[in-house]
Amino acid sequence: MMKRLAFVLVVLAAGAALAAEPGKTPFQKAPDFTLKDVTGKQVTLSKLLENGPVYIECWDLPCVNCIAELDALKPVYDSLKACGLQIVALSVDKPADEQKVKTFVKTKKWPYIVLLDQQQKVKSAYKIVIKPTAYLVNTEGQIVYTHVGYKKGDEKRISAEFKKWLPEKTEAGCEGCPKSGAAKPKSEAGE
């Protein structure tokens, strides 16, 4: 039990080292990467960030909690995608499981960008030890939020974090988007 607690503390410390709280310490730069998605298209993080913040969720087929979190985030994503939110489901399954991943994703009908990190280079660059682990990267390419593990209801907290970092929009269809004049975390506002 003590070994497991120590392991969890190390993982949480690693995640905390990558993301700092707004206004307290500078945010760490997110490592850029280019990976193939499940359709074979090359996707680059820095290009995605031109359209809005990106939530990168590390998952694999055996991880029940990963799949539960990605399922639970679907309504949140559906309500915020018009505001610029993007979710990347980063599959760290082995190359031999590529077809299983593609079939699974098609069955789930996830609207996310599903990338294949078969060599686990991105997983390693982001120091991911436990799945699910997710990072919210703002449009400046900074890791502004880290989420490790998943239990039912976490999606509410994650949604609140998303809203802090979305670009301010006033268009129709952005019911959950911040409106003009909405306060941004101090590090974003330049204070």
Cα–Cα nearest to 71, from 34, 20, 35, 105: 105
Q: What is the mean pLDDT of residues 62-75?
A: 96
Task: Indicate the average pLDDT of the chain.
Answer: 82
Buried b (16+ CB within 10 A) or exposed e, 81-92: bbbbbbbbbbbb
156-166: per-residue pLDDT in tens? 999 999 999 98
Rg of the chain over Cα atoms, rounded to whole angstroms, equals: 16
Q: Output the pTM of the full model.
A: 0.78
Q: What is the mean pLDDT of residues 141-147?
A: 96
89-124: per-residue pLDDT in tens? 999 999 999 999 999 999 999 999 999 999 999 999
147-154 contacts, C-beta under 8 A, 24 or more apart = 148/11, 148/12, 148/15, 149/65, 150/65, 150/66, 150/68, 150/69, 150/72, 151/65, 152/68, 152/72, 154/69, 154/72
31-43: per-residue pLDDT in tens? 999 999 999 999 9
Helix, strand, coil shares of the chain, percent, nearest 5, are 40, 20, 40
- Tokens 């998303």 belong to 162
pLDDT of residue 177: 61
pLDDT of residue 175: 56
In CATH terms, the fold of domain 22-166 is: Glutaredoxin (3.40.30)
Distance of CA 2 to the CA centre of its chain: 30
- pLDDT at 182 exceeding the cut of 80: no
